[in-house]
Structure 1
Amino acid sequence: MSENYVTHARHALHRLIVPIRRFTLPPVLSLLCIAPLLLAGCRDAEPQHNVAPRPVRYVSAPQPSSGTPPVRTGEIRAHDEIALGFRLDGRILTRQVDVGQRVVKGQALATLESDTARNQLGSARAELDSARAAERVAALTLNRMKSLMPSGAIARVQLDTATSDWQSAVSHRQSSEAALKNAQDNLTWTQLAAPQSGVITQVSASAGQVVSAGQVVFTLAASDGRDAVFDVADPQAIENNRNGRFTVSLLAEPSVQVSGRLRDISPQADAQTRTWRVRIALDNPPAAMALGASVEGEMPLSGPGMIAIPASALTQTGDSAAVFVVDDSRQIHLRPVTPGRYTAASVFIAHGIQPGEKVVTAGVSKLREGETVTLGEEAK
């Protein structure tokens, strides 16, 4: 190879010498011009270095399975809960019940200061008395005008005026009656009563506290039924098993268990935790599962089996989820997959990979289709 470069350099030198002689360049300058060409021709081509295959961590795809039923922690809540509050703004004067107390329908739970409501009631009654008196006077005047009209003792306009005054008095009386009814209701609403029998499960205000209309003061468990309540991040997995049976056990004493069925799933995620609330209706819960007790729930899994792989193996191709699969020649290929469900550490693949195939589990964002790799540590 060096001889070829020398031959080409000699020919190039011959072509350059003739023009250089024509311009009568100094010999030293001519030598400087052609020296780089001679040096370049004498050097052998540098050898190319091959890049070593990248080592990758992988996992062998296991056999499909429904997986281990996920266990979640929740608490026992009443089957029917009623949030109770006053219909008026005001300051709580007394609170008659505490958490855990059983109450009956109509029992007083708390009262607001009622001085303002009583004053409004007295004013409404006085206004109604005045309106009724004005109506009676207007009615007498109208009857008198009607009796004088046939004899021509009064003008027609006087009768019309008396009629208008009577109609206004009637309207005023009706308005005063409505105002009295509102004042009576406001006085009644200063007392908060139990709408039905049950147990107080939460108290959110105390005597002396100023509350607004509609603010929750008590939470009432209105029935003897009990639910296990859980906050979950993957409600779809539970929705797919709506007809399955759930096993709920006491966190403090796992031997105390009861079965239940899915009652409902909240339609929206909580704005703070981004979880959905799931309620499991319990079948004949034991006395040990009292309101507020901490429990664990096992959610059943059904349907076709799926292959569980580490969540770190998942990447994307276009709009589809994908994984890198290593073939027998140690080349990797990006393959679209269909995830069935997710957990914090795993993804369950419904379609796209077969048991025994090697799936790359780390650094997938740096890999390229068709790249040759070496198998490193197998993930557990």
Structure 2
Amino acid sequence: MIANITDRKLGKWLPISALATSIVLLAGCSDDKPTHQMPPPGVSVFNVIDQEVGDYYEYVGRSEAIHEVDVRARVEGFLVKRNFTEGGMVEKGQLLYEIDRAPFEATLKGAEAQLASSKAALINARKNLERSRDLVKQGAISQADFDNQTSSEAQAAAAVESAEANLETAKLNLGYTRISAPFKGEIGKSTYSVGNLVGPSSQALATLTSMDPIYVTFQVDERQLISHLAEHPGARTTQQTSVEESPLEEKGMFKLSLKLPNGTEYDQPGTFSFADTQVDETMGTLTLRATFPNPQGIILPGLYVTLQAESTDKTLLPLIPQASVQQDQSGHFVLVVTPDNTVESRPVELGRRINAMWVVKSGLKQGEHIIVQGLQKVRAGGKVAPTLVDVNTTTGTITTKASTPAESAKQEQGH
């Protein structure tokens, strides 16, 4: 009976004893073999570069023609010719319209005849006055008769002047029958066709608009204006020395360019040409104007364009790829790889964007390495295996950078 009880107790504790022995044996084995560690994730890093960058501003602007006139008839008559293609370019002095000249030519001939008659009458009056002067001295005529001759000579002289004025008016009116372009530009739709009666009271015959150069008008916020004037105290006081040389261009230190409505960059630079004398009290802005060459007529009046102003005073600032920049509730940040290949999260203050790159105002310096590929595989404080890459600053395309032997050795040591 006692033997049976002992056998049952041994059967109960035997499996537990065997399990404990196995754990001890496994622990002994784990001490003999090294633990397997995962290698650090590979990432692509970009070497931060510095580039000269100026202050940059963008404004919504509106293109305007420098010259725009309504072509009108100055004399009344029937249109007999139209010498242009609607919507086409016309040259300065080109004949646009011609009004029937026959009535005006007849008026001119009548004025010429009247002048000749008046001149003949003046000659006769002067001769009579000379004879009367001798006769009055001799007492052959009275003083009253002499006064009449004097008056007749004066009236004849006045008639000549009136005839000359009428002749000049007739010549002007005849000249007004030919309507020419006052400047080179594009001409719009013709309001009247050949055969219509037109005159000073008629609508404009057409509208002529100059195309080259062209204005771009824009507004600057008063706060930005005051800040700029504080940095450049003489920006509005220097006298302009020529039409082509803008005082704002000299001391404003800005290079002007345009972005067209389709997003393309216009290939002609502009110059400041005008600044208003008062700030708009309702909008708090100052109106400025720039002039751009427009030889191809690409910029039509009335377009909304983006005017880009970049300061010619440059500062060296870091330039980093857009692909490296991340954002959270605190703002923008990048992941920096330290010399010992540790990842560090770094907040940055961004400036303007230049193609595929961001300008960094603060937070980075030249020579630091930032991650541009593999961001999702890493975390701050972790180790990585960096590979140096190049980034096309225009397109953002990433390519592996060819390492020198020294760089390769340094990367291997970092691993």
TM-score computed with the length of structure 1 as normaliser: 0.47
TM-score computed with the length of structure 2 as normaliser: 0.44
